[in-house]
Structure 1
Amino acid sequence: MNFGLTIPAQAGSFLLLYYVDDRKLNPAWAATTLTLFALYNAANNPLIGHLSDRTRSRWGRRVPYIRFAWLPGLVAFALLFMTPFNGVDSPVALLLYLVVVWGLWETFGTAVGTGYLALLPEMFRTYAERTAVAWRMNLVQTLGLLFGLALPPLLAGWVGWAGMGVLFAVLSGAALLFGLGALFERPDPAARPLGFLEALRATFSHRAFLTVVAAQTLRFFATGTLATGMGFFVRYSLGAEAGAVTTVLLAAAFVTAGAALWPWRALVAPRLGPRGTLMLAFGLSAVSLLPLALVQTVAGALVSTILFGAALAGMILMGDVILADVIDEDELRSGQRREGMYFGMSGFVTTLSGALTSQVFGAVTRASGYDPRLAAQPEGVADGFRFFMTVPPIAGALLAVLILAFYPLHGQRLRAVRQALADKRAQTGVDW
């Protein structure tokens, strides 16, 4: 299922390229719209997560959100790349189309994604189980990243943006349907579910969660910046044809990430644990992006993206695993399994990375003088997109390392939580 979730989520990174560079939407309008929708998506994540914690149905708590939301979500995704309007003749109509269809996609997509992610810590209990399934799950995810981030420019050149959207919607739907039957849920806890405000207070008072989600936000900011800016960087900073070259560069990053997942899982994660593994991955990602500030050739950029892919594997592997540890500690604190609220609140905060990416993009395009309506761009545009691809994501990665230094759930404390949880389940005889 991870393949089906990843493709549309990552292909959405090309909406700025499609609406601004292809459909000629005002860059400031586009950046503002995407920022507002990042805020909307941030708000509906915890709400849907909390609702899933409280849902009782014959399908369970999480599965209904996946079962009934995947189809309308993918229809909306395909429609995003099928607008009949352009920013020259109908700028307001183009903007309204983006707003309406994006809103539908965000709502249904959040329901599917939150329901699915909340099942990981519920289905798999130990660190060994979670890292093993995370390796396999994220190997599939990197294939989805390859499709969703590397192929859209190439496919758009072959079958158009609309054809790309339909093709990806069909592939995603097939993957979601294939995986739906393998999902399962454990018996519901007997404790009274927390109210929404009470659940918010309990979640935001959890220091381990706050540090993890802050670091994860910076991860998505770094990857979102690279995905959003790569086509512009190739076209205006390297002077190459954006479609095929962008595909090659992004594909190199995600193929490398997929290949590097097993070494991270087998060699690094058992020795460093979740926190240490993430800190190392963030540090290496910052180093890997430095060459983009200087390279003038596609070959030079390729080296940088391969190095980034190797570091990205560590971040991908540990993202959900470390949050599962946070949820385990919360069970000891609250007496309940609240995966939905935690993954929803994680989505609430990390989605803000999209707003940050959009605002940085808007600031860089304004400062550099980029205007999609011009036949030739000002000289500052090349340096502007080079800055966009290096300084913001490097700063974000280094800040994530600093934040993770304050993550409390590691070493002896983490071992104590795992033992206390095992003892509790052995005493009660309830595995939930």
Structure 2
Amino acid sequence: MAKNTRRPKWLQVLIDSFTFKSTGLSFIQKLKISLPAPILSVSQVIIHQVYIKYYTDVIGLNANLVGLVYVIYNIWNALNDPLIGALIDRQPYRPGRGKYVYLLHVTVPFMMLTTIAMAFTQPSWSQWAKFGVFTAELFFFDTAATAYGVAYGSYVQIAAPTKEERLDIGTIGNYLTYGMSFLATMIPTLLLFQGGNKSLFIPVLSVVVAVQTVVFILALRGLKDTPEMYATLKPAKRNNKETLRAAWVIIKSRPFLTSITYSIIAMGAISYYSAAFLYYMDAVIHAPGTTATLLNFITHFVALALMPLMNYAVKRWGTKTNIYIGMIPATIGYIGLTFAHTIPEVYLYYGLIVCCTIYFATATAPMNALIIDEDEWRTGIRKTGLYSGLFSIFTTSLGSIQMILYTSIMSATGYRGQVAVQSAQAVRGIRFATGVLPLISIWVGLLAMILYPFTRQKERDISAESRRMRTAPHDPVAVSENKG
């Protein structure tokens, strides 16, 4: 009598989750496409987390002026992001050079050079000299980073046309991203906390940026940019007036408005959790840098181990349901961190926040691409660059409001970066900014998610149509599937 070899359902779920099983691209193809993502992510970790503490605590730039730097940074984003996105849309594929991958190669050196240059501002300079140099360097970094982000996002969307493939690519890429980001966050915890050897900051940062550059130049070499990938795309051929008209139609649409609102209010708040952690552990908990580093490593290790299951849940139940589920542990984490006093308490509550941050990021990752797919379905024209620019103009320019609020609260409550012990009022300010402020934001942002129009079934319908539109006879994904 034959034995029943059918696997239990829970075991099959684990296998599917950790093998990133979905139709279309193979695991190796997904891996190759995911590798360039960390270039931008790690540089942004250094700039938006490491440098914030470095400039307040080592360079001595007032927290109010750090906030002002980001106000100007956001205004520049409001100007350059849609322009760069629309410009990339208009550029045709050029034989021998390509399009999106070529832009990735061109922009990486600018990002790397400006990332390391920010470390050489001198504490002896005047406040306004520090402010001016930091602002100028951010200007050059952001221009290159915007072009890189739009090009890479556009490339992923045509190379991986379905939500499921993009989720797998994002999850695989996140492992490398968080791994290298962790190396970057070790810099402030080990070197910038009280008692740390701040003189090692520049040498260590230089090594991190050098390793990052080498690894990802190699990653870009493996990325294919063939004419077949662009065969089914109808490039936008609009003048400036038509571009503005198309942009206004997009901005007024419900999918765009709800997605952007949630990104700004909710995701904008939780995206700065690592920067908040640095000040919280140093000034509130008074933890040694080694303790903060270990805590950060363990909580992220647990979250990353769970990421394939998060990925599976988003494929199965869609974005909205997973956001609803994550609200409960996130709320417990933020309330707990507001009142925590011991290291074990921080392990528990910060661990919940880290897991929920990654969970929310996984759940919302497909939203923007699905909106672009659905628009192409209706209009017949793919406006990736225009959409990406509009997404950036709002998320980057307004998403940093949370960081500006954080530094404003620190300044208003008396935080002084170069003193050994903060006042009781400053400690209360950091507790409020780390726990209560993001908690309010995720609950207010939930209103936008409730109004987000794409249900689980709608997401599946859009992915199916996107796959159909990308299956030209010479499309590499279609050919791969047909051969299989």
Counterpart residue identity of residue 453, structure 2: P
Which of 200, 207, 212 pairs up with 1:160?
200
Kept in 2, the 8 Å contact 1:5–1:172? The answer is no
| Pair 175,202 (structure 1): closer, same or farther in 2 beyond 3 Å | farther
Counterpart residue identity of residue 230, structure 2: P
Counterparts of residues 36-55 of structure 1 (less than 5 Å): 36-55=72-91
Match of 1:218?
265
| Pair 411,30 (structure 1): closer, same or farther in 2 beyond 3 Å | closer
Cα distance in 2 between the residues matched to 1:300 and 1:415: 41
Kept in 2, the 8 Å contact 1:73–1:105? The answer is yes
After TM superposition, give the deviation of residue 363 of structure 1 in Å.
2.8
Match of 1:193?
237
Match of 1:204?
251
Unaligned runs of at least 5 residues, structure 1: none
Counterpart residue identity of residue 272, structure 2: T
Moved more, 56-65 or 187-196: 187-196
Kept in 2, the 8 Å contact 1:35–1:359? The answer is yes
After TM superposition, give the deviation of residue 205 of structure 1 in Å.
2.9
Counterpart residue identity of residue 27, structure 1: A
Kept in 2, the 8 Å contact 1:119–1:339? The answer is no
| Pair 336,77 (structure 1): closer, same or farther in 2 beyond 3 Å | same
TM-score (norm 1): 0.90
Kept in 2, the 8 Å contact 1:370–1:381? The answer is yes
Kept in 2, the 8 Å contact 1:4–1:174? The answer is no
Match of 1:245?
291
Counterparts of residues 28-427 of structure 1 (less than 5 Å): 28-56=64-92, 57-58=94-95, 59-86=97-124, 90-154=126-190, 157=196, 160-185=200-225, 186-188=229-231, 189-190=233-234, 192-195=236-239, 196-241=243-288, 243-266=289-312, 268-372=313-417, 374=419, 376-421=421-466
Match of 2:6?
none
RMSD: 2.6
Counterpart residue identity of residue 214, structure 1: T
| Pair 30,179 (structure 1): closer, same or farther in 2 beyond 3 Å | same
Counterpart residue identity of residue 228, structure 1: A
Cα distance in 1 between the residues matched to 2:398 and 2:302: 24
Paired residue secondary structure (2:120): coil
Match of 2:46?
11
Cα distance in 1 between the residues matched to 2:207 and 2:371: 37
Cα distance in 2 between the residues matched to 1:148 and 1:342: 31
Unaligned runs of at least 5 residues, structure 2: 1-35, 478-484
Kept in 1, the 8 Å contact 2:167–2:365? The answer is no
Kept in 1, the 8 Å contact 2:269–2:438? The answer is yes
User: Which is higher, the Rg of structure 1 or of structure 2?
Assistant: 2
Paired residue secondary structure (2:382): coil
TM-score (norm 2): 0.81
Moved more, 369-378 or 118-127: 369-378
Cα distance in 2 between the residues matched to 1:187 and 1:181: 19
Q: Deviations over 1:286-307 (max 9, x none)?
A: 3322211111112211211211
Counterpart residue identity of residue 340, structure 2: V
Cα distance in 1 between the residues matched to 2:423 and 2:468: 66
Cα distance in 1 between the residues matched to 2:185 and 2:237: 39
Counterpart residue identity of residue 256, structure 2: F
| Pair 354,403 (structure 1): closer, same or farther in 2 beyond 3 Å | closer
Q: Deviations over 1:294-328 (max 9, x none)?
A: 11112211211211222223223233322221111
After TM superposition, give the deviation of residue 18 of structure 1 in Å.
0.9
Cα distance in 2 between the residues matched to 1:206 and 1:429: 33
Cα distance in 1 between the residues matched to 2:148 and 2:203: 23
After TM superposition, give the deviation of residue 162 of structure 1 in Å.
1.6
Kept in 1, the 8 Å contact 2:414–2:423? The answer is yes
After TM superposition, give the deviation of residue 150 of structure 1 in Å.
4.3
Q: How many equivalent residue pairs?
A: 427
Counterpart residue identity of residue 336, structure 1: I
After TM superposition, give the deviation of residue 354 of structure 1 in Å.
4.9
Counterpart residue identity of residue 54, structure 1: R
Cα distance in 1 between the residues matched to 2:409 and 2:353: 22
